[in-house]
Structure 1
Amino acid sequence: ILAALLLHDLKKGGEPWADYDAAHGPPAAKWLGEPWNERSESFDRVRGMVADHMAQWNSPKATPPADLANQIVSYADYIGSQDSIYVTVPESGR
């Protein structure tokens, strides 16, 4: 989950880098897999979460979260993109 959260927006700026690309999940997952010939179940799982992190907003096809891990990545991305959600960090007892 942490790897997917760190890597999910690698291609958000499009290819070549320009403007926002709504369909950036699948290209990022593909790009992550290109340098390696060997695959593992966990690596493929991370790539799947990266590809599908846009969930119902994914383009060209909606990919609603199929399990808890995908929900966490998708919802964290959504919440992080909202301008109206703030977290106030309490002051330390100085």
Structure 2
Amino acid sequence: MPPEFDVAAGEALGRQLAQLVDKLDWFIGLRDGRRKALLGTPQSDNWQGSKRNHYEGDFARQQAALIDLKAAARSFQASVHNATEQARTAQQKRN
């Protein structure tokens, strides 16, 4: 017989994943805002040329990786929530 699902641990993990999603969202926005504040638009006088283009490409890849990480955390959070709810329902039926 498989071990019983720990509902409290599932709820705690779900809260931690929610915090991770929120913090990733904040960090993505912070990076984007800082880039805009420091560099302006791609046609700005702040920084132009191949180094700017290289930076913009790297920045876009990094942002995409963070967005993918946030999506994965959100998906995992949903899976944990569903498993926790299923376990809670099963435990209530047994009691």
- The structure with higher relative contact order (CA 8 Å, sep 6+) is 2
* Length-normalised TM-score, structure 2: 0.28
* Structure ranking higher in helix proportion: 2
* Length-normalised TM-score, structure 1: 0.28
Q: Rg bigger for which structure?
A: 2
